[in-house]
Amino acid sequence: MSFVPGLGILKGMALTFRNMLRLKPTVQYPEEVYPVAPRHRGRLLLLYDEAGALKCETCFQCAQACPIECIDMGGVDTRDRYHVHWGPAEQYGERREESALRRSGRPVPDPTATPFEPIDTAALDAILADEGYDPRHMLAILGRTQDAYGHLSVAALKHISHATGAWYAEVYGTATFYDQLRMAPAGGHVLAICRCPSCTFRGAGRVLAAAEAAASTTLGGSSPEGAVRLEAAACHGGSPGAAYVTLDGAVQAEPTARGITDLLTRLRAGHAPAGRA
């Protein structure tokens, strides 16, 4: 195949040379911004009318009509409580993974659908009403629920999620993050150690290390046979002389590493506390 590099190539080269000297249409984005047409629908923004009121009254028509169910809306009712929640986002994510998992042939673990026994929600509703269904008081709600029921059951967390409108994942996250909140019912005794700086200077660190060695578990967990459970406590600056260590709420007189180790071994051995009825 033979071609003589004749006029065509040279004309092309001349054109690119001329273009090299021409003004460039590039828009330097951060400094200059290309004018967007007024009717541009690229901006997703919630419209306000001229009086400043929100134009959306959470009728969920758009979330219902959306072909790919990508609209996640949360609505506040008239008494300013955040309660109505059209949230495919939560299920959407799980649903997509679920179908992918099922298509791959693996069994589909479905924690939210695992049957959990319902609880009597009277006490829980009282706590929620008292806190005003406000998701920002989540830690207080969970603490009082644990005091009321002994531990945080899945049913309780589901109910709190529905009532306050926060996602179940958020509530579950808060419950599992703090050491003093426990999801499993505490079988045996609860040994709580304060972790504030003043107690640590007085030896709480060594006590904790000894307790973890003796109960062969870490803070927030319970010993293998469930006799003892280690938790973090808050001495609120109250412990004058020694580290603040409590066993089932009773403050320990000599909170030293050796003392606590003996206590825990006795508890785990006898599975019944010495000297407690």
Partner 1 sequence: MTSPETRIRSLDDPSLFVDTPATIYDAIPPYPPRTEREAEFYTLREGEMLINIGPQHPSTHGVLRVVLKIDGERIVDLDPVLGYLHRGVEKICENSDWHMVISHCDPLEYIASMFSEYVPVLAAEKLLDVTVPRRAEYIRVLACELNRISSHALFMGWLALDLGGITPILYGFLERDEIVEMLAALTGQRLLFNYMRIGGVNGDLNHEFMSRLGDWMSHALRHIEDSMALINSNEIFVGRTRGLGRIDRQTALRMCLSGPPLRATGIPYDVRRAHPYSVYPELEFEIPTREEGDSYARYLLHLDEIKQSIHIIDQVLHRIPDGPIMAKLPRLLRPRPGRAWAAIESPRGQYGVYAMSDGTDQPFRLRIHDPSFFNLQSVGLLSPGHLIADIMAIMASLDPIMGGVDK
Partner 2 sequence: MTIVSRPWQRLSPAGRVLLPLAAVVGGLGVVFLGGVSSGILPNLWSWIYEALNDNVPLLRFLVAATAVLLFTVPTAFVIIYLEMKVIALQNLRLGPNRQGPWGVLASTLHGFKVLAKEDFTPTGADVPVFTLAPVVVYLASVMSFLVIPFAPGLFAQDMNLALLYFFAVGGLGVVGLMMAGWSSFNKYSLLGALRAAAQIISYEIPLTLSVVGVIMLAGTLSLNTIVHQQSGSFLDWYVFRQPLAAVIFFVAATAEGNRTPFDLTEADSEIVAGFATEYSGMRFGFFFFAEYVNVFILSALTVTLFLGGWNAPLDLTPVWQALGAHPGAIDLSGLGVGLLIAVLVVPPILTVLLALPFWMLFTKLRFWQALVIGFLCFNALVGAAVLIWAAFSFDAVMGLLWFLGKTYVFVVIFVWMRATLPRVRIDQLMGFAWKWLLPASLANLFVTALAILIIAQVRG
Partner 3 sequence: MAEVAEVLRIVHDDPGLRFELLADLCGVDTGAAMEVVYHLWSAGSRDWLRVVATGLAREDPRAPSVTFLWRGAEWAEREAYDMFGIVFEGNRDLRRIYMPPDYRSFPLRKDFLLPDDASRSPGEGVRPMEAAPEPAVLTGTPADLRHAREATP
Assess 106 for contact with partner 1 (CB under 8 A). no
**Closest separation in Å from C-beta 5 to partner 2:** 8
Assess 100 for contact with partner 1 (CB under 8 A). no
DSSP codes, 155-213: HHHHHHHHHH---HHHHHHHHHHSTT--SS---SEEEEEE-SHHHIIIIIHHHHHHHHH
Assess 53 for contact with partner 1 (CB under 8 A). no
Binder of partner 1 out of 17, 28, 29, 42 (CB under 8 A): 42
SS3 267: helix
Stretch that binds partner 1, among 10-18, 196-204, 226-234, 258-266 (CB under 8 A): 10-18
Q: Is 230 left (phi over 0), alpha (psi -120 to 50) or beta?
A: beta
Stretch that binds partner 3, among 42-50, 67-75, 99-107, 176-184 (CB under 8 A): 99-107
Closest CA to 196 of 231, 249, 230, 233: 233
Question: Locate tokens 């959470």: which residue?
Answer: 58
Contact positions with partner 2 (CB under 8 A) in 13-72:
13, 15-17, 19-20, 22, 24-26, 28
**Closest separation in Å from C-beta 161 to partner 3:** 12
Stretch that binds partner 2, among 2-10, 37-45, 116-124, 192-200 (CB under 8 A): 2-10
**Closest separation in Å from C-beta 13 to partner 2:** 5
Residue 93 CA: distances (Å) to CA of 89, 109, 160: 6, 14, 21
277 binds, among partner 1, partner 3, partner 2, none (CB under 5 to 8 A by kind): none
213 binds, among partner 3, partner 1, partner 2, none (CB under 5 to 8 A by kind): none
* CB contact at 8 A, 257 and 210: yes
Largest CA distance in the chain: 108
State the distance between the two ends of the chain, measured CA to CA, in whole angstroms: 105
Single-letter code of the amino acid located at 188: G
Binder of partner 3 out of 24, 41, 103, 236 (CB under 8 A): 103
Q: Which residues of 167-185 are buried (b: 16+ CB within 10 A; e: fewer)?
A: bbeebbebbeeebebbeee
Q: Would you report the helix, strand and coil content of the chain in percent, each value rounded to 5?
A: 45, 10, 45
Contact positions toward partner 1, by CB under 8 A?
A: 1, 3-9, 11-12, 15-16, 19, 25, 34, 36-42, 65, 67
Contact positions toward partner 3, by CB under 8 A?
A: 84, 91, 99, 102-103, 105
Contact positions toward partner 2, by CB under 8 A?
A: 1-3, 9, 12-13, 15-17, 19-20, 22, 24-26, 28
